[in-house]
Amino acid sequence: MTKPTFTIDLRSDTVTRPTAKMRGCMHKAVTGDDVFAEDPEINELQKRCAEMFGMEDGLFCPSGTMTNQIAIAVHTSPGEEVICDKLSHIYNYEGGGIARLSGASVRLLHGDLGRFTASDVRSNVNPLDSHYAKTSLVSLEDTCNKGGGSIWDLSELREVSKVSRELGLAVHLDGARLWNALVARGIHNDAKALHAYGANFDSISLCLSKGLGCPVGSVLVGSKSFIAQAHRARKVFGGGMRQAGIVAAAGIYALENNIDRLEVDHARAKRLGEAALHHPSVISHYPIDTNIVILELQKGVDADALSAEWGRNGIECFQFGPSSIRFVTHLENTDDQIDGACHYLSNI
């Protein structure tokens, strides 16, 4: 076999490594003991993330799994129930943490690519009767990873939040790729729109290590009293860090430099999706709202074997299900690599 003339890593947007400029900021970090809230970079990062969404306070954590699980632990008590979509990361990909760490049960909704409606929430809240688990939290995901980077319709999202609150439920957002969703809506530089968006939630989890290109880190934002409780949960979960300003400095750099450019990832994802439709093994793709492309394959095509074949031809990607393959675009991709991948997919 001839060696491919290009290689592109489309496995995930978590594969990005810190750039020289980002490393420069990390190098200059002052740092301090964050368990004592004395790390200036962490304090600054938490403040910026909170203010962006009109929240009072923030908490820097090692991972998005931890920020989600801390939020669930604070919003629920053992034996209570969390409402979320069946595609949600908190349910599928966090090691059963809802049951294990919070002792809570889950009510799964069957939404549209991860998005559900206010009436879904209304009809899945348990009655206030001691036979039932007490429903206490609704969790949304914007963008929804397993939904192919799908974004919510803002009016539906507002309605879900309003109805959930009327029912006495807390509302959490898994915003691992929230900046992708905001860029797709064109509101990422509109402070008022961001505050209005944040007002729908009691807590938001934000990942810096996905599209924003940081080596590690997530931030949880919410009210002062919520974050005070989250601080205790973070300690219990073993996530209290010391001079982690070295990584928070990467986060501040990313907020300033890597949000606007997400639209490039989105345009590239669309190009890849269109090119892949020319491939004889591809039937269709999910709607491409952001930086994730999910390709559905012809009957009988083995997704694992096809993704391995594409890998040998320079396109590194994963199977997403038995008959689908996922691409995720990110800041290490170049135009030449995208051209190469589109050419390969559409001329096979």
Binding residues for ligand PLP (CB under 6 A)? 63-65, 68, 89, 141, 145, 174, 176, 207, 209-210, 218
Minimum distance of ligand PLP from residue 328's CB (angstroms): 10
- Please work out, in degrees rounded to the nearest 5, the angle formed at the alpha carbon of residue 49 by the alpha carbons of 44 and 53: 140
Minimum distance of ligand PLP from residue 181's CB (angstroms): 11
Minimum distance of ligand PLP from residue 177's CB (angstroms): 6
Minimum distance of ligand PLP from residue 26's CB (angstroms): 18
The residue (of 200 and 218) whose beta carbon lies closer to ligand PLP is 218
The residue (of 79 and 287) whose beta carbon lies closer to ligand PLP is 287
- 219 alpha-carbon distance from chain centroid: 12
Q: Give the separation between CA 243 and CA 254, rounded to whole angstroms.
A: 19
Q: Give the separation between CA 214 and CA 218, rounded to whole angstroms.
A: 10
The residue (of 16 and 313) whose beta carbon lies closer to ligand PLP is 16
Minimum distance of ligand PLP from residue 3's CB (angstroms): 32
β-bridge pairing 218-222 and 203-207: antiparallel
Minimum distance of ligand PLP from residue 68's CB (angstroms): 6
Structure tokens at 52: 């962006």
Name the strand (E) or helix (H) holding 42. helix 40-52
| Cis before 143 (ω within 30) | yes
The residue (of 147 and 340) whose beta carbon lies closer to ligand PLP is 147
Which conformational region is residue 338 in: left (phi greater than 0), alpha (psi within -120 to 50 degrees), or beta?
alpha
The residue (of 53 and 344) whose beta carbon lies closer to ligand PLP is 53
The residue (of 65 and 136) whose beta carbon lies closer to ligand PLP is 65
At position 234, the amino acid (one-letter code) is R
User: What Å distances lie between residue 179 and 52, 65, 254, 342, CA to CA?
Assistant: 11, 17, 11, 26
The residue (of 69 and 76) whose beta carbon lies closer to ligand PLP is 69
The residue (of 176 and 255) whose beta carbon lies closer to ligand PLP is 176
Residue 318's SS3 state is strand
Minimum distance of ligand PLP from residue 217's CB (angstroms): 8
Minimum distance of ligand PLP from residue 89's CB (angstroms): 3
Q: Which residue is nearest to ligand PLP (CB)?
A: 64
User: What Å distances lie between residue 227 and 19, 66, 220, 308, CA to CA?
Assistant: 31, 14, 8, 44
The residue (of 63 and 223) whose beta carbon lies closer to ligand PLP is 63
Minimum distance of ligand PLP from residue 207's CB (angstroms): 5
Q: Give the separation between CA 233 and CA 69, rounded to whole angstroms.
A: 9
Which residue spans within the chain are E strands per DSSP?
A: 8-9, 57-61, 81-85, 105-109, 135-141, 170-175, 203-207, 218-222, 282-285, 292-297, 315-316, 318-321, 324-328
